[in-house]
Chains A and B, each alone.
Chain A
Amino acid sequence: MDTTRRAVVTGMGVVAPNGIGTDSFWKATREGTPRLTRITRDGCDHLPLTVAGLIEDFDPVGTVEDKFLVQTDRFTHFALHAADQALRDAGTPDLPEYAIGVATASSSGGGAFGQRELQNLWGTGPELVGPYQSIAWFYAASTGQISIRGGFKGPCAVLADDEAGGLDAIAHAGRSIMRGADAMVVGAAEAPIAPYSMVCQLGYRELSRADDPARAYLPFDAAACGFAPAEGGAVLVLEEREAAERRGAAIRATVAGHGATFTGTDDWAASRQGLARAIGQALAEAGVGPDEIDVVFADALAVPAADHAEVLALGDALGAHAANVAVTAPKAGIGRAYCGGPVLDVAAAVLAMEHGVIPPTPGVFSTDYDIDLVTGRARAAQVRTALVLSRGLMGCNAALVLRGGDAGP
Chain B
Amino acid sequence: MNGPFTYDDLSALMKSSAGITADPQELENSADSAFADLGLDSLGLMAVVGDIEHSHGIPLGADAERCKTPREFIDLVNSQLTSGV
Interface residues of A (CB under 8 A from B): 65-71, 127-128, 130-132, 134-135
Contact = CB atoms under 8 A, between A and B. Distances in A.
B19 interface: yes
A131 B47 contact: yes
20 contacts: A66-B15, A66-B20, A66-B21, A67-B18, A67-B19, A67-B39, A68-B19, A69-B19, A70-B17, A70-B47, A71-B18, A71-B19, A127-B54, A128-B54, A130-B17, A131-B46, A131-B47, A131-B50, A132-B47, A135-B43
> In the complex, which range does the number of interface residues on chain B fall in?
10 to 19
A65 B53 CA distance: 26
Nearest to A128: B54
Contacts of B20: 66-67
Interface centre among A68, A128, A131, A135 (most CB of B within 10 A): A131
A70 to B, nearest CB: 4
A127 B47 contact: no
Contacts of B18: 67, 70-71
Interface of B: 15, 17-21, 39, 43, 46-47, 50, 53-54
Contacts of B47: 70, 130-132
Nearest to A64: B19
Task: Decide if the interface of chain A is mainly helix, strand, loop or mixed.
Answer: helix
Contacts of A134: 43
A127 B39 contact: no
Given A67-B20, A128-B54, A131-B46, 11 more contacts: A67-B39, A68-B19, A70-B17, A70-B18, A71-B18, A71-B43, A127-B50, A127-B54, A131-B50, A132-B43, A135-B43
A4 B8 CA distance: 58
A132 B19 CA distance: 12
A384 B30 CA distance: 59
Contacts of B21: 66
A135 B20 CA distance: 18
Contacts of B46: 131
A66 B47 CA distance: 14
